[in-house]
Amino acid sequence: MLDSTRNGRPRAGETAAGRARTGLLVVGSFVLVLYVIEIINALMLHSLNGMFGLRPRSLDGVLDILTFPLLHANLAHLFSNTLPLIIFGFLVLLSGPRVFFTTLALSWLASGVVVWLIGGFNITVGASGLVFGLFAFLLVRGFFNRNWWQILLSVVLFLSYGGILFGVLPTVVGFVSWQAHLGGAIGGVLAALLLSAPRVGTQPSRP
């Protein structure tokens, strides 16, 4: 087995403090990019939404799956996603970059696919599908991993933020894409299931 220490001390990236710093840096950078895009979009009178927002059941809209979470209707819309993105993204990143990027990618993809398949007639933009994906991952991963600490965290998060889960239910409010929320949550659950499976070639840990 490779020695994970150098001069008797753990590598910085493997300590809790190192993972926390990395988590804040990655999530903070992603949120900063969203704000830069929103400022540019606002200066262009949000014309980017018409070009890169997700258009359901449109052949051109398939490519919009890659871009729609990066755009927002206005600054208030982005504000509403900022804090949960930072909190949930940071908590997921504490488990490592592989876990975070897998969860983010599946939430992104599933949210876009569900919107494309069953979305309404409006163009959909916003990172709320990613919020729901990260949140759903945090809620269920402990049960797949049989990890009591993760289950305890999921209980605390549910008591604190569980009300947002109503966002996956169909609504007549046209400016809320419950389809994006539902798809993101599905992606988060899929990520938890995928990441809980034992990796091929790994050996059981020894005491």
Among 130, 46, 50, residue whose Cα is nearest residue 85: 130
- What's the pTM? 0.86
Predicted confidence (pLDDT) per residue in 54-81, tens digit: 999 998 889 999 999 999 999 999 999 9
Predicted confidence (pLDDT) per residue in 30-45, tens digit: 999 999 999 999 999 9
Q: Which residues pair with 5 in a beta bridge?
A: 10
Take residue 37 and report the two structure tokens written for it: 């895009």
For residue 59, give the 3-state DSSP assignment.
coil
pLDDT at 11 over 70: no
**Which residue carries 């569980």 as its tokens?**
162
pLDDT at 198 over 90: no
Domain borders along the chain are 17-196
Residue ranges of alpha helices (H) inside 148-206 are: 148-161, 178-196
- Contact (Cβ atoms closer than 8 angstroms) between residue 107 and residue 101: no
d(CA 100, CA 110): 15
pLDDT confidence band for 197 (50 / 70 / 90): low
What DSSP element (H or E) covers 81? helix 75-93
Fold of 17-196: Rhomboid-like fold (1.20.1540)
* Angle, alpha carbons 16-142-65 (nearest 5°): 90
pLDDT confidence band for 174 (50 / 70 / 90): low
Predicted confidence (pLDDT) per residue in 100-152, tens digit: 999 999 999 999 999 999 998 889 999 999 999 999 999 999 999 999 999 99
* Angle, alpha carbons 45-47-48 (nearest 5°): 125
pLDDT at 1 over 50: no
What DSSP element (H or E) covers 33? helix 16-43
- Contact (Cβ atoms closer than 8 angstroms) between residue 150 and residue 79: no
pLDDT value of residue 65: 96
Higher local confidence (pLDDT), 40 or 8: 40
For range 154-159, the mean pLDDT: 93
pLDDT value of residue 19: 80
For range 161-178, the mean pLDDT: 79
